[in-house]
Amino acid sequence: MTTTRTQARAPRVGESALRPDGIPKVQGRFLFGNDLWADGMLWGKTLRSPHAHARIARIDVTPALAMTGVFAVLTADDVPGSGVFGLEQADQPVFASGVVRYVGEPIAVVAADHPELARRACEAIVVEYEVLTPLVDSQAAITAAAIHPDGNILRHLVIRHGDIDAIGDVVVEGIYEVGMQDQAFMGPESGLAIPDDDGGVQLFVSTQFVHADRDQTAACLGLPPDMVRATVAGTGGAFGGREDICLQVHVCLLALRTGRPVKMLYSRDESFVGHVHRHPARMEYRHHARRDGTIVKVEARVVFDGGAYASTSSAVLANACCFGAGPYRVPNAFIEGWAVRTNNPPCGAMRGFGAVQTCFAHEAQMDKLADALAIDRVELRLRNALEPGDTIITGQRITGTAPVAAVIRACADAPFPAGAELDPDSESAPMLLRPGGAGRTADARHVTRALGFAVSYKNLMFSEGFDDYSTARVRVEDGIATVHCACAEVGQGFVTLAQQIAREVLDIDEVVLAPADTHVGSAGSTSASRQTWMSGGAVEGACRLVKAQMEADAAAGTVQRVYEATFEHHHAPTQRLDENGQGDAHVSFAFAAHRAVVDVDRDLGLVRVVDVTTAQDVGRVLNPVQALGQIEGGIAQGVGLAVMEELVVDQGRIRNASFTDYLIPTALDMPTVTVAALIEEPEPGAPFGAKGIGEPPTISSTAAVAAAIRAATGRAVDRVPVRPDDLLF
């Protein structure tokens, strides 16, 4: 909401410029969505379903409305526009009506003059349910009776590539599972809505994609899009969990109904049901290879549990399948994927977006294959590594950079950092650094150290024909440049890059960032590792237009005081996948390798991740410190999925919706992270040659840790997160 000025020093592209919001953030002055406040503000609160599947027999809001200090109670009957929303298909109700399909589904919202009163008013609403049997088995959902008018199949995708009947000399099989991970961003969902005099509304919301929020909210409010004036509020992390609508429609409905500003913010337990999660997946794999290690064919059948509503399940499944054979030359493939609807919590985007799940499976398969062939695991990967010009299993030829062998070699050959040597003096290791830490300390004699290795790849930007673009407006006045772009800053550091790019192109030191809002064209979502390329390119393009005009005027002697230009940056068009899952569906690919060293207590089944070393294909580093921060932070989430992070869902109900029970890595849990190499081969078509870097660190780090645990224990480790029971029984 505030305009941020640049620091005195003015670094260009490629330097470690400091964040323009760094100082207000360390001082506690930076305003997040939940810090917002307005005169006469009311508090909104959501009543949610306690059942995974039930018919709603009756709702009586009168006891809540009768409470002094309660100003509105709204249900499905109060939605003036579309009753449903959704990023890919509008299938999710603003409020459940007639039926509830997951635990936590909104039933009603309340506005009151104190948050505690709003909570009590929610409790006073009477809802009578007829409880139904929940559909919680994703495999069964394929043929089960539909739990939604749109059916249970969110997507069924088949990739047929080459000779699907090809047979290898050696065949290895496995069945793998990934549990449900939560984004667990630190700043819970929050937003403030302020009614406008013309019947419209201002919305300030912590989000990844403010134009999608605006459009979906306007449709539900029955307003034209330009009457919903949406601004990205300070956003405390996202990781995919803020791409969908959560409270946007609710808070605007309450503001418009009461005529007063209304603020909503979710508690942590509510946040766990208030956003989508990483899809749990079950994956059956069969790899065929020649005796020399050449991969002949990959077969897979994957089932992703999308939960009650579609969200981005379709695109997640496409990624899982397209990259399901890994970054290897695979001439023949048959991959069948299902994304299904169940009464489990809705799943959608999370960092890595489908590639994480199948990477865990294909990398476990590669290790199995190496062992079956008696070939070194790293060597097997090198023999099959994709190169520029190769064709992937969707029939698409890689026209950009693909330094797969380079990331593998750099990572595998890196020296082990101090403390992570493979022959440790574990007797002298500090207690806190043993598996289990201070609480359940392992006996050093029972600790085994081992390493694992994994490689991954993923698309950058949106795929499958999506018209993906970003818009930036740049104004130069009195030697100061102002950049206006709706790119959501969620912590990734686009604000820093935008300044660096504007300085680089315009050769102007002072660059001001206008608020990210819907008064400028869409920037698309802060997801899919796309904003450096898409919005970075939009800022670059607008700056180049301004610069060209300035230079032309200077040459003509007609210099103006103000220059302004708007640029819409589209990436190269992509195709939909055909009925065989073939087509040039993706723009660009990024590759990464991870090597994990773990200590495992064989008696207790406890794991400590000691080090994760990585090499990553980045195109070009635009800001070294920020790149390091993305890599370290992404690996933390990958390590979390490997050894601790799982939403435990029982009959559709999340059993551990708190930071007491859903564990994310602390500073003591985190291994050292060693960046062996950032491979800088500029990507053709990418602004400044830079590839997105946010997701790859999360993708193969999980698989590498799992491989290391497998090596330490000899156990199958065919499921993540790895639980002590998996290593003992």
Chain residues in the site for other proteins (CB under 8 A): 16, 18-19, 21-23, 25-32, 34-35, 37, 114, 116, 183-188, 234-239, 265, 267-268, 430, 432-433, 490-493, 625-626, 628-629, 632-637, 658-660, 664-668, 670, 673
Nearest to 49 by CA among 153, 132, 151, 118: 132
Which pair of structure tokens corresponds to residue 407? Answer: 């990331």
R_g (Cα) of the chain, nearest Å: 26
Nearest residue (CB) to other proteins, 185 versus 469: 185
Q: Alpha carbon 94 to chain centroid distance? A: 23
CB 653 within 8 A of CB 52: yes
* Residue whose token pair is 């103006």: 560
Sign of the dihedral defined by the CA atoms of residues 431, 437, 438, 442, in that order: negative
- SS3 call for 136: coil
Encode burial over 575-607: b for 16+ CB neighbours within 10 A, e otherwise: bebeeebbbbbbbbbbbbbbbbbbbbbbebbbb
Q: Cβ of residue 273: shortest distance to other proteins, in angstroms? A: 15
Q: Considering beta carbons, is residue 34 or 588 the nearer one to other proteins?
A: 34
Helices 696-713 and 624-643: crossing angle in degrees, nearest 10, is 40
d(CA 549, CA 308): 52
Contact residues for 578 (Cβ-Cβ < 8 A; gap 6+): none
176 three-class SS:
strand
How far apart are CB 616 and other proteins at their closest, in Å? 14
Q: Do residues 373 and 383 touch, judged by C-beta distance below 8 A?
A: no
User: Among 80, 18, 55, 490, which Cα is nearest to 252's?
Assistant: 80
> Least Å distance between CB 208 and other proteins?
12
d(CA 37, CA 365): 53
613, 704 Cβ separation under 8 angstroms: no
**Shortest reach from residue 43's CB to other proteins, in Å:** 10
Q: What angle do CA 272, 437, 280 make, to 5 degrees?
A: 30
Closer to other proteins at the Cβ: 374 or 418?
418
Rank residues 626 and 702 by Cβ distance to other proteins and give the closer one: 626
CB 275 → other proteins: shortest distance, Å?
13
Rounded to a whole number of angstroms, the minimum distance from the CB of residue 4 to other proteins is 13
User: Cα angle vertex 119, ends 115, 123, to 5°?
Assistant: 165
Cα gap 663→25, rounded to integer Å: 25
The greatest distance separating any two alpha carbons of the chain, rounded to the nearest whole angstrom, comes to 82
Distance CA 528, CA 487 (A): 13
Nearer to other proteins, 209 or 589 (CB): 209
- CB-nearer residue toward other proteins: 473 or 530: 530
Per the CB < 8 A criterion, the answer to whether 109 and 253 are in contact is yes
Give the nearer residue to other proteins in terms of CB position, either 105 or 189: 189
Cβ–Cβ under 8 Å, residues 203 and 261: no
Which of residues 482 and 656 has its CB atom nearest to other proteins in the complex?
656
Taking the least distance from each CB to other proteins, the nearer of 114 and 576 is: 114
Phi, psi of 16 (to 5 degrees): -85, 70
Least spacing, CB of residue 121 vs other proteins, in Å:
15
Considering beta carbons, is residue 554 or 648 the nearer one to other proteins?
Answer: 648
Q: Based on CB atoms, which residue is closest to other proteins, 267 or 294?
A: 267
If the CB atoms of residues 187 and 400 are measured against other proteins, the closer one turns out to be 187
Provide the minimum distance between the beta carbon of 31 and other proteins in the complex, in angstroms, as a whole number.
Answer: 7
User: Buried (b) or exposed (e) across 69-80, using 16+ Cβ within 10 A?
Assistant: ebbbbbbbebbe
Closer Cβ to other proteins, 489 or 504, answer by number:
489
325/635 with CB nearer other proteins: 635
- For other proteins, the closer of residues 22 and 682 by Cβ is 22
Assign 549 to helix, strand or coil.
helix
**E strands of 189-270, at which residues?**
190-195, 201-205, 228-232, 262-265
Q: Which of residues 191 and 234 has its CB atom nearest to other proteins in the complex?
A: 234
Give me the least distance between CB of 661 and other proteins, in Å please.
9
Sequence letter at residue 158? V
CA distance 102 to 147: 11
* Closest distance of CB 28 from other proteins, Å: 2
CB atoms within 10 A of CB 156: 12
Token reading at 405: 């062998």
Strand partners, 615: 593, 677
Q: How far is the CB of 655 from other proteins (least distance, A)?
A: 16
As a whole number of angstroms, the distance between CA 474 and CA 654 comes to 46
Q: How far is the CB of 292 from other proteins (least distance, A)?
A: 39
Closer to other proteins at the Cβ: 186 or 548? Answer: 186
Give me the least distance between CB of 170 and other proteins, in Å please.
Answer: 38
* Distance (Å, whole) CA 360 – CA 706: 8
State in angstroms the smallest separation of the CB of 119 from other proteins.
11
CA atoms within 13 A on the CB side of 29: 7
Taking the complex as a whole, the smallest distance from the CB of residue 113 to other proteins amounts, in Å, to 11
Q: How far is the CB of 510 from other proteins (least distance, A)?
A: 19
Report how far residue 361's alpha carbon sits from residue 302's, in angstroms, rounded to the nearest whole number.
10
- Three-state DSSP at 266 gives coil
Question: Least Å distance between CB 651 and other proteins?
Answer: 24
